[in-house]
Amino acid sequence: MRRLTTGLGLLFTMASAVGCSDSDGSGGGTGGNGGQKSSSSGGTSATGGTSATGGTSATAGSGGKGGSAFAREGVCGQEGKATVNGTTFEGYEEFYLISEEGFGAKICVVRFDAKRVGEAPAGCTDCEWTHEVGFSNPRVTTDVDGVCANSKLGFTAAKIDSIVASTAAYGFVSEFAGHNSVLMKYGEGGTTIWDAYGNATWDEAESAFRFDRRDGFCGY
């Protein structure tokens, strides 16, 4: 596979957050927000996919610590695990909130089944694979004192329904810009490009994929 030649780096670390694992107990990659733009995008608009923007599953709330309307600060994020190859994407995705500025326990976890629903938009020339992914079967697996809805994460019934009604265009790039391997996402924030979305791993022989994206501090 042709590697990206851009010198742009990723900012996937957060000093106050610790690594986490998915709720089935297996370890996850270190989280982080997507970095700078991928040279693989080419600025292309959607040519495939089921959504003009490649779908936008609602991103967990984020924000700085200053000026929070909430009494405490946690860390919000998103992670997933799936069986993935060139024609298949099937697994789950979770939105979560970790207490105590990321050093505590997960106090909110909302899980969705995630499955390929079609072709993703073209343009991610460095991706090992791309898929348009849909979400179903939502369930709240952890919700301490109703924090899922009553936090910056904001997982009300309406937000859960909006994710079920959405799709996301995902891809995978190994050693993005010579650094971390990443999950790529098309159309994030209303753009028409592919961009790094979170740290990820993919074992081609086992078709085993996982990702973790930390969205920073969020109040609860």
The answer to the question of residue 77 being in a domain is yes
The answer to the question of residue 129 being in a domain is yes
The answer to the question of residue 27 being in a domain is no
Residues 210 and 20: their CA atoms lie apart, in Å, by: 12
Contact predicate 160/110, CB 8 Å = yes
The answer to the question of residue 103 being in a domain is yes
pTM (global) more than 0.75: no
The domain containing residue 82 runs over which residues?
Answer: 73-219
The answer to the question of residue 121 being in a domain is yes
The confidence score (pLDDT) of residue 179 equals 79
The answer to the question of residue 194 being in a domain is yes
pLDDT digits (tens, 9 = 90+) for 167-213: 999 999 998 877 789 999 999 988 999 999 999 999 999 999 999 99
The confidence score (pLDDT) of residue 177 equals 78
The answer to the question of residue 132 being in a domain is yes
Number of domains in the chain: 1
The confidence score (pLDDT) of residue 61 equals 40
The confidence score (pLDDT) of residue 81 equals 98
The confidence score (pLDDT) of residue 185 equals 98
CA distances from 139 to 18, 21, 135 (A): 25, 18, 11
The answer to the question of residue 102 being in a domain is yes
pLDDT-flagged residues of the chain (< 70): 1-68
Label residues 183-215 b or e (16+ Cβ within 10 Å = b): bbbbbbeebbbbbbbbbbbbeeeeeebbbbbbb
